[in-house]
Amino acid sequence: MNRAPLLFLGAFFAVAFSWTGIILSNQIAYGKLTPVIDQSDNKAYPLPISGQAQQGKLVYQDLGCMYCHTQQVRRPGYGADDLRGWGDRQSVARDYIREQRVLLGTMRTGPDLRNIGARQTSTEWHYLHLYDPQLTSAGSNMPPFAFLFEKRKIVGEPSPKALRLPPAYAPEAGWEIVPTERAESLVTYLLSLKDTYTYPDEARRVYVAPAANPEGKK
């Protein structure tokens, strides 16, 4: 193998082949998927998320939440995602088309969050959990995100947003712990995470019915 041009040509075609196969062909096949307009409520699914939730997604990205939390539900029968209550159906490509950045994740040190907004609807729970995960999930190895909260002196009335902490965590009298704007955006984002809509097309072609466990755990 003493001819450099041959080497370069071979190296070029090898990668060109996979680029065409993996990326280009899929870009052509489903790179232009569009939202589905539901005739009954005249909304386009997946629904767009609010500006504040978008801000929250940036917080999610900058703190690196995706290194422990996936955002993809595997089909019923493959793994136990449905049985753990992480989603009623599997995630499909259309769920992600509005996302500027797709955060599928590859690690489940913590649970999947694709439907956390449907599963854990309490804002207060999320604040406490972020402030110190031990408050809501004793034994968790999620780090505390207390730096997303502000300790401040109560001036006049206490803030309605102030965390209701158990005595061991509560600040001294006259002080309160309130979420910063970043914490508020992050929780708004988390609450926006829910793929509850059933796309008619995917329901016919892709969805796998939950088989073994009809009356079981959601």
**Residues 16 to 45: which contact another protein by CB under 8 A?**
17-19, 21-23, 26-27, 29-33
From candidates 5, 41, 42, 139, binder to another protein by CB under 8 A: 139
**Residues 140 to 159: which contact another protein by CB under 8 A?**
140-147
3-state secondary structure of 164: coil
Interacting residues of 197 by C-beta distance below 8 A, sequence separation 6+ = 38, 45, 46, 47
The smaller minimum CB distance to another protein, of residues 130 and 178, is found at 130
Q: Residue 37 CB: number of other CB atoms within 10 A?
A: 10
Please tell me what DSSP assigns to residue 145: -
The smaller minimum CB distance to another protein, of residues 42 and 106, is found at 106
**Residues 72 to 111: which contact another protein by CB under 8 A?**
72, 74-75, 77-80, 83-84, 90-97, 99-109, 111
**Residues 46 to 75: which contact another protein by CB under 8 A?**
60-68, 70, 72, 74-75
CA distance 200 to 197: 9
CA distance 195 to 97: 12
The smaller minimum CB distance to another protein, of residues 148 and 191, is found at 148
